[in-house]
Amino acid sequence: MANTPQARKRIRRNNRRAEINTARVSRIRGFVKRVESAIEGGDKKEAQEALRAAQPELARGVARGVLHKNTVARKMSRLSKRVAAL
């Protein structure tokens, strides 16, 4: 258990940041799922719009430090390829 005031504050802060980061990752997952469901539905126009909406969200995840830049690059590449193949 934390004994110093700094350690107690750090625990509180870590818990708050974990909540925020979890919400961010969850939001990004929702955008990616919209693209994937449009791809599975076979609607190219809807998939393109969903992909356009997901791109800045993924980039924001990298900027905020919740996702690794190579992970996002890989996801974007794979989604783009699947949308283009429709």
Query: What tens digit of pLDDT does each residue of 39-68 get?
Result: 999 999 999 999 999 999 999 999 999 999
Round to whole Å and give the CA distance between 13 and 28: 23
Q: What is the mean pLDDT of residues 15-41?
A: 96
Mean pLDDT score, 32-40: 96
2: left (phi over 0), alpha (psi -120 to 50) or beta: beta
Q: Which domains does the chain possess?
A: 5-84 (1.20.58.110)
Which pLDDT does position 74 carry in this prediction?
97
- What is the model's pTM? 0.85
